[in-house]
A = this chain, B = another copy of it.
Amino acid sequence: MSLIETDDAESGESISLHQRILSDIREKILSGAWAPGHRIPFEHELTAEYRCSRMTVNKALSQLAKAGLIERRRRSGSFVRQPQSQAAVLELHDIRIEVEALGLPYRYERLERLRRRSSAEDRALLGLAAAGPVLWLESLHFAGERPFALEQRLINLSAVAEAAEEEFLDIAPGPWLIGRVPWSEAEHRIRAMAADETVADALDIDPGAPCLVVERRTWSAEHPVTHVRFIYPAESHTLVARFTPSQG
């Protein structure tokens, strides 16, 4: 139990009150129950509803505002903002961070791991001139219960020999590579794609449903290191890149 006894019947959870307010409101917005433009209850009303102090409510609302889900206006209240789909920032390399930024529990699952000599297609993807050993990995990233992204990755074993020893069962290839291999150059390709049967199956969506595909090739000092393809269900994901010409 927490500091204060909220004498809810439904509790049993050990999450903080702050987290509960946050996810309650987020759910109302994402489910569409509170449409864009809707005024969400005032802080003092939520204070009464959750029987907590204004600071706690304020912290939750401020967080939602910073996440871009709501907009706060003095003297007027807080309002649901436009986009249904939440933001994952293009700068983030790490899907775990993207998912956790959404306030959802993250889970990683390796589907397949295959060591082989590079095919012509592999070499095209990696930008390799000569044949050599590569590692093929397929994994799923979950946000809560739902698949968040399918990852298909090639690692050039000539550049990262140690990868051959790693099973990638407990750690995703992305975080593993970072820190081990400093990258000197990267290239992103972003496009839309209809889910084929394999992808639809993995992501638990309908075949033909639109997906966002982000492919990244990375080089370390002229040597191709990895090629990775992230496939996101369209409705679950929007890339956001925000920038100012001079300073952030």
Which A positions have Cβ atoms within 8 angstroms of B? Answer: 36-37, 66, 68, 73, 81-94, 97, 100-101, 120-121, 124-125, 129, 178-179, 183-194, 208-213, 232, 234, 237-245
A101 touching B66, Cβ below 8 Å: yes
Copies in the complex: 2
Contacts of A90 in B (CB 8 A): 87-88, 90, 188, 190, 241
Report if A242-B185 is in contact (Cβ < 8 Å); known contacts: A37-B124, A192-B210: yes
How far apart sit A82 and B93, CA to CA, in the bound complex (Å)? 11
How far apart sit A90 and B90, CA to CA, in the bound complex (Å)? 10
Q: Which one, B84, B91, B125, contacts A88 given CB within 8 A?
A: B91
A178 touching B84, Cβ below 8 Å: yes
How far apart sit A197 and B73, CA to CA, in the bound complex (Å)? 37
Q: Which one, B36, B89, B189, B208, contacts A239 given CB within 8 A?
A: B189
Select the residue from A82, A85, A120, A187 with max chain B CB neighbours within 10 A.
A82
A124 touching B192, Cβ below 8 Å: no
A202 to chain B, nearest CB (A): 16
B190 touching A129, Cβ below 8 Å: no
Q: Which one, B73, B82, B178, B211, contacts A129 given CB within 8 A?
A: B73
Contacts of A211 in B (CB 8 A): 192, 210
B192 touching A234, Cβ below 8 Å: yes
Smallest CB-CB separation from A94: which chain B residue?
B68
A120 touching B194, Cβ below 8 Å: no
Select the residue from A37, A73, A241 with max chain B CB neighbours within 10 A.
A241
Smallest CB-CB separation from A240: which chain B residue?
B189
